[in-house]
Every structure is written in structure tokens, then in C-alpha cells.
């Protein structure tokens, strides 16, 4: 990290002393035959919105400059008990409220495919840390795509766990009803192991796992938006090995997905502004204007608008669950 030319645009802070101490402790456990599990000693980065004891946690914003928590976030504490090594804090979109990953307030991390391209966000530095080989995995957060977008744009695996599965204690929050921590890594196996570590659960035994007989539903995405030919071909190519492994692939249209996505501008913006209004309106001149404008767009929605959007979302969730019942997984 210290010598890599892209590191300053990826890491907001490197916790070198902590990383060395944790790595030394993991090595000592390994020599004594006391490894805590398959992730003991694995070095990971942390998006700079997870509280890290004694290290500034500023969520990519000048509004939180100098904020130094006394305790680790709950998921970071769980990770430490699994033996994961904390390398440092990675850059992100300001207050985690943009999917592009651009942040002129602090830094914009590079994209592995072209450093001039946007990295995806808001867990931009988390993705770059893994893609550029500066961490074995990155821990980010996802509200409406903030793990999945940068993972996709940087050729990684990104997992947004079920909301509520992982603790938000000690996390700078954006939309508490949607926010969740999660891993960005190089394989589905890594994601499964990291998910267990972040939740404090034992590592799963993945040996002998089989997909034979599983049912997979592929959703028609035409109602969500246009799909490029290359994307369609990539999807089909990804399905072929699943079919070969015995997966039953079926297709269907489910309008509830597109209808739910149309509610995002109201629900996300209103909740984000309600969560962060006091912070951002205290010193709005410190913010990147497009992010500030996105926050303030939430003020345009009335309480009846917000309640109606949630009522519709609850109905659409029920329709989605009914439409996907009996399937082991859904692809779109």
C-alpha cells in the first residue's frame, strides 16, 4: 500500500500499526495451531463509514472531519474476532449518497478497467482496494447498489446481505431502513465466508455444496430498462455453467420489480435527507454540490408522499415474494 501509486486515491487512512499487530497475532496463532478459522490473518479494507477505534471515520465528507470514534463498529469487532486484519479506511462517495463513486471533496478512486472511468459507488475505494490488489477483500455498505455497482464495474463479487442480518451499530448511516454492510471480494466463496465473519457466525462448510435440482428464475428486465447486446450475452454465458451443474432455469416477467425501483427517488431521498439534514444544513458549503442537491431533493416529498410510497412498496414486496416462491434464486 505504501508504495502503490494508486493507494492515495483508494485509502483515506492506512491503519499500519493496527494491521501489523493483528497480522502478528494471527501468525502466532497459526504457529500454535490455534487459527480461528479460514479468514484468520486475511487483510481487508473498511469503507470510511465504519467506526474504527482511535482512527478518524469521516464518511467521505468535510462535515465529519476530525470525527474519531472510541469503539469499533459491531461488524468490525466481529471481523476482528474471526481474525481478519484491518488495513485501513477507504474513500467513498460523500456520505455514501451517489452510485458513481466521484468525490472531489476527498478523492475519487480509480476504476481497474480504466483509471479515468468512474469507479462506481458509493463503496468506490472498497472495490478499488481489492481490484488493485491492495486488500484481499473490502467491506462496504449498500443502500441501493453501493456494493453491487462498484463490484460490477471493477470485475468483483459484491454482496448486499438481507437488511437486518448485519449490525449497523457504529456505522454512519444514510437510509437506516435499507443500509447494510457487506463484502466486496473475488469469489462467491469469499463472500460467504466474509458474511459469516461479519455476523459473528461460524464459518460455513462449503465443501460438497451442490446446485443439482435447484430452481433459478430469470426475470425479464425489459420493464426495468434497456439491455445492451453484450449484457444479454454475458447473462446467457453465466447461465450455461449453472445449467450444466443441474440447475433448472425458468423465465418470467415480474412488473413489481420495475414499479418498486420507480419509488426509489422518493423513499431514498426523503429518508436520506431526514437522516442527515441537521448535519448537512449546518455547513452546506462544505459539500459537493450534486450530492447536496440530491439530499435536498428529499425535501420536495410530503409526508403523505412518503407514506404512500412505503405502502406501495409493501404491496410490491408481497407480489415479488409470491411471484418468486418456490425458486432458490432470482437473476435479473
Is 47 annotated as catalytic?
Answer: yes
Sign of the C-alpha dihedral, residues 108, 111, 116, 117? negative
Catalytic residue among 47, 89, 123, 129: 47
| Angle separating helix axes 74-81 and 188-199, nearest 10 degrees | 110
Catalytic residue among 146, 151, 167, 199: 146
Catalytic residue among 45, 98, 122, 151: 122
Distance (Å, whole) CA 113 – CA 18:
31
Residues with Cβ < 8 Å from 309, sequence gap 6 or more?
263, 266, 267, 270, 301
Q: How many CB atoms lie within 10 A of CB 30?
A: 14
Residues with Cβ < 8 Å from 199, sequence gap 6 or more?
75, 78, 165, 166
Distance (Å, whole) CA 178 – CA 250:
29
Residue-level length of the chain: 332
User: Over the range 313-325, which residues count as b (16 or more CB within 10 Å of their CB) and which as e?
Assistant: beebeeebeebbe
Burial class (CB in 10 A: 0-12, 13-18, 19+), 34: exposed
Distance (Å, whole) CA 265 – CA 210:
40
* Nine cell digits for residue 244: 450444466
Q: How many CB atoms lie within 10 A of CB 282?
A: 9
Is 146 annotated as catalytic?
Answer: yes
Q: Which among 268, 213, 269, 221 is positioned nearest to 242, based on CA atoms?
A: 213
Catalytic residues: 47, 122, 146
Amino acid at each position: 500500500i505504501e508504495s502503490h501509486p494508486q493507494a492515495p486515491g483508494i485509502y483515506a487512512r492506512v491503519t499500519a500499526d493496527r494491521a501489523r499487530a493483528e497480522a502478528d497475532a494471527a501468525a502466532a496463532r497459526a504457529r500454535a495451531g490455534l487459527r480461528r478459522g479460514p479468514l484468520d490473518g486475511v487483510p481487508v479494507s473498511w469503507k470510511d463509514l465504519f467506526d474504527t477505534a482511535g482512527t478518524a471515520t469521516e464518511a467521505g465528507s468535510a462535515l465529519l472531519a476530525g470525527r474519531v470514534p472510541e469503539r469499533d463498529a459491531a461488524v468490525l469487532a466481529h471481523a476482528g474476532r474471526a481474525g481478519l486484519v484491518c488495513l485501513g479506511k477507504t474513500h467513498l462517495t460523500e456520505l455514501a449518497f451517489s452510485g458513481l463513486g466521484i468525490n472531489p471533496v476527498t478523492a475519487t478512486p480509480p476504476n481497474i478497467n480504466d483509471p479515468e472511468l468512474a469507479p462506481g459507488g458509493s463503496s468506490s475505494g472498497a472495490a478499488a482496494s481489492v481490484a488493485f490488489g491492495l486488500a484481499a477483500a473490502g467491506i462496504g455498505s449498500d443502500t441501493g447498489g453501493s456494493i453491487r455497482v462498484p463490484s460490477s464495474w471493477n470485475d468483483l463479487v459484491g454482496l448486499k446481505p438481507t437488511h437486518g442480518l448485519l449490525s449497523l451499530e457504529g456505522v454512519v448511516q444514510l437510509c437506516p431502513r435499507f443500509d447494510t454492510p457487506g463484502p466486496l471480494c473475488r469469489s462467491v466463496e469469499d463472500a460467504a465466508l466474509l458474511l459469516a465473519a461479519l455476523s459473528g457466525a461460524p464459518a460455513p462448510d462449503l465443501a460438497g455444496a451442490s446446485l443439482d435440482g435447484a430452481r433459478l428464475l430469470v426475470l425479464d428486465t425489459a420493464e426495468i430498462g434497456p439491455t445492451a447486446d453484450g449484457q444479454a450475452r454475458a447473462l446467457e454465458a453465466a447461465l450455461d455453467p449453472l445449467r450444466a451443474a443441474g440447475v433448472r432455469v425458468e423465465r418470467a416477467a415480474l412488473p413489481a420489480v420495475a414499479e418498486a425501483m420507480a419509488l426509489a427517488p422518493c423513499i431514498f431521498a426523503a429518508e436520506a435527507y431526514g437522516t442527515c439534514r441537521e448535519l448537512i444544513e449546518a455547513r452546506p458549503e462544505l459539500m459537493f454540490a450534486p450530492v447536496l442537491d440530491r439530499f435536498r431533493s428529499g425535501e420536495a416529498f410530503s409526508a403523505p408522499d412518503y407514506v404512500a410510497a412505503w405502502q406501495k412498496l409493501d404491496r410490491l414486496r408481497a407480489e415479488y415474494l409470491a411471484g418468486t416462491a418456490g425458486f432458490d434464486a432470482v437473476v435479473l
